[in-house]
Amino acid sequence: MENRSLKRFVHFSRDGVRRETVYETGRLWTQILCFERNQTMGPVTDPESDAVFTIVAGEAVFLVDGRRKRLEQWSAVLVPAGAEVTVSNASADPLVLLLVAAPPPASRTGSGSAATSV
C-alpha cells in the first residue's frame, strides 16, 4: 500500500493555478490543484476521461458544459468524459481541489503547469 500526505502537494503561485500530481497509474490519475484569489483554470476537456473534483479547502465556481454551480468545501463534482469544465476560485481565500481522473487523460501535465485536458 502506498500513502501520501496531501499537505505536501499544496503550493500556490501568483502566476497561475498550481497543479501537483499525487498518483499516476495506467488506469488512474490524481492531482492537487491550488488556486490563489481570482485564479481560473479552463476551459478544459478530455474526450476519454471521467473526472471528479473534490473541494478540500475554499469555495469554487464550476462551469460544466454551460451549467454553473458554486460549491463549498467537501463538495464534489463529476465531469463526464467529453464535457468542458472551467473552475474558478469563488472567494478571497485559497482554493484547493483534489482531482481524480480515469483513465488518465491522454494529454496531461506535470507539476505546476496548466493543461489542455482535465
CATH of the domain at 65: 2.60.120.10
Q: How far is CA 91 from CA 47, 60, 61, 77, 115, in A?
A: 30, 8, 9, 18, 23
pLDDT for the residue 108: 56
Query: Residue 7 domain-assigned?
Result: no
Q: Which of 67, 54, 64 is nearest to 95 (CA)?
A: 54
pLDDT of residue 114: 38
- Which among 44, 38, 26, 28 has a CA at the least distance from the CA of 113? 44
The domain total for the chain is 1
Supply the pLDDT for residue 70: 98
* pLDDT score recorded for residue 117: 62
Q: Is residue 24 part of a domain?
A: yes
Q: What is the pLDDT of residue 104?
A: 94
Instruction: Tell me if 58 sits within 8 A of 91, measured CB to CB.
Output: yes
Residue 116 makes CB contacts below 8 A (sequence gap 6+) with 44, 107
Q: What is the pLDDT of residue 43?
A: 97
Please list the ranges in the chain whose pLDDT falls under 50.
109-116
Is residue 1 a part of any domain in this protein? Answer: no
